[in-house]
Amino acid sequence: MTAPTRRQTRALRPLAAAFVRFVVCGGGVGLASSAAVVLLSGRIPMAVANALVTVVSTVLATELHRRISFRSERRGWRVHLQSGATVAVSYAFTTGALLCLFAVRPEPSPLVAQTVYLSASALAGVGRFVLLRVVVFGNRGRSGHGRASHDEALDKSSVAMAV
């Protein structure tokens, strides 16, 4: 394998910074959501609390990712719907991983179940980052920033890193 060129290294720095911002924003919203579900579940049914917090946290996280993680000008309901779709895919992926685990091992230890869940969540998070970066908050149609060719290179890097 060859060492990355200086240009490739420079192109990956903003991508790595965006990923760190993505993890911090998403993690912060996740922690706040966890607390909100616990607080609300004493007042309303747990399923309703979870659904409400999931919707609100997805909208909040989408805005944070738009403004902070990806610094995108794209906005509106379409962005929120696309982001929500990535959440649904992530949910399906993590649920599928757990269903496979329980099919193979009907009574896994809590450590094994947590390892499978966290591993699936990490993979889903990376996939979500790539989809948000390339599809949802992609720089199509963005003008006046003088960075179009550089951003296109980052989009290709994002996909290459995910594969």
Task: Give residue 4's pLDDT.
Answer: 66
Helix (H) or strand (E) holding 127: helix 110-131
Per-residue confidence of the chain (163 residues) as pLDDT tens digits? 566 677 766 767 888 999 999 999 999 998 999 899 889 988 999 889 888 998 999 999 999 999 999 999 998 999 999 999 999 999 999 999 999 999 999 999 999 999 999 999 999 999 999 999 999 998 654 443 434 444 444 454 444 444 4
User: For the chain, where are the E strands, in sequence order?
Assistant: none
Classify the C-alpha dihedral 63-66-67-70 as positive or negative.
Answer: positive
The pLDDT, as a whole number, for residue 163 is 42
List of long-range contacts for 137-146, beta carbons under 8 Å, 24+ apart: 137/65, 137/66, 137/69, 137/70, 137/72, 137/74, 137/79, 138/74, 139/72, 142/72, 142/73
The four Cα atoms 20, 25, 28, 34 give a dihedral, to 10 degrees, of -120
Contact 33, 51 (CB under 8 A): no
Query: What pLDDT is attached to residue 84?
Result: 92
The per-residue pLDDT for 150 is: 45
How far apart (Å, rounded) are the C-alpha atoms in residues 34 and 57? 10
Rounded CA separation 105/140 (Å) = 46
- Determine if the pTM surpasses 0.75: no
Longest dimension (CA), the chain: 58
